[in-house]
Amino acid sequence: MTLRKKLALGALAVVFVLINIDGIARRFRKRTHFEVASVPQLGYPRCADSPEAGVSRVVLVDTVLVGQEGTVNAGAWERFTLEARDCHRVARVHVESSGMIVDAEVVMHPSMEPIRAWRRIGRWGPQGLRYDTRAYDFRTPFVTVTRVDPAGVRSFEELRPRSKPTLVLLPGEAALTLWTQLQPMAVGERVQRMVLDLRKPLERTWVSMLRREAATGAPSPEVYSLDEGSVFADDDHRVTGTLSGMRERVGVGEPARAEGQAPVDPARPL
């Protein structure tokens, strides 16, 4: 074998080893879901001086976004609310799009650190909507997941990222208000947080980065980018639209909800 062939084979071997090392590292980095036999069921968060949740409610944010005709989001809509409820902050979102209806909630401390999250994804089938429902508890050493699948089967997991999430990314776009209102950001500034991301069917924990962009030509005074998308916000840092065609619906409430939906009850034990 010539020296040139030996060198070529050696280079290929090095590449093969590097690819395998990278693949192994990726598998270890991505594994944050660990199935367990059970998790503590701590119940819906209550205040010590207000055992009945929801005695005091003040609406802080109420935003309806609707997909514009001719855009990828045409026909979709969402409603996001943020309330000061007793000693907590409670954010809820309802999203309707083609073939899917999503409801989600996160209960937080006044500092906006999450205590418990809940999400229900409904998909249309021959017998109507079938739901995948999950509750996420932050009051345990690891974030725990209790899931009830469309067949009614319960399962449990622990999420074990390198650090505990300090923010929940709820489905939809308007819910990003939870981050944009968390702290003022200058144009060009970037902020990273470990988040529990509930925007896709399989939740994930990861370090996400929010960036404040220049608002040149934008329909609102503030622009933020997260992942591959951008949102617009008003002077109160409240998300009012997206680059992908979602715009705020003002003064007329939310569109009619699709029929056949089960009541939304995040406090109900799974």
Cα 35 to chain center, whole Å? 21
Half-sphere exposure of 192 (CA within 13 A, CB side): 4
Q: Do residues 158 and 34 touch, judged by C-beta distance below 8 A?
A: yes
Instruction: Indicate the pTM of the whole model.
Output: 0.86
- Cα(223)–Cα(112) distance, integer angstroms: 22
Give me the amino acid identity at 80.
F
In sequence order, which ranges of the chain are alpha helices (DSSP H)? Answer: 3-30, 177-180
- What integer pLDDT is reported at residue 4 of this predicted model? 53
Q: What digits encode the pLDDT tens for the residues 115-167?
A: 999 999 999 988 889 999 999 999 999 999 999 999 999 999 999 999 999 99
* Average pLDDT over every residue of 195-215: 96
- What integer pLDDT is reported at residue 44 of this predicted model? 95
- Candidates 197, 174, 43; CA nearest to 116 is 43
Asked if the model's pLDDT at residue 216 lies above 90, the reply is no
Question: Which tokens belong to 34?
Answer: 């660990």
* Average pLDDT over every residue of 175-194: 95
H and E: helices and strands count for the chain: 2, 16
- Looking at per-residue pLDDT, the higher value among 81 and 1 belongs to 81
- What integer pLDDT is reported at residue 49 of this predicted model? 57
- Candidates 238, 197, 247; CA nearest to 78 is 247
Q: What digits encode the pLDDT tens for the residues 32-52?
A: 999 999 999 999 999 875 555
* Average pLDDT over every residue of 15-36: 57
- What integer pLDDT is reported at residue 99 of this predicted model? 84
Residues 227, 208, 142, 93: is their CA dihedral positive or negative? negative
Mean pLDDT check: name the lowest of 50-54, 178-182, 211-215, 219-223: 50-54
Q: Residue written as tokens 């617009």?
A: 232
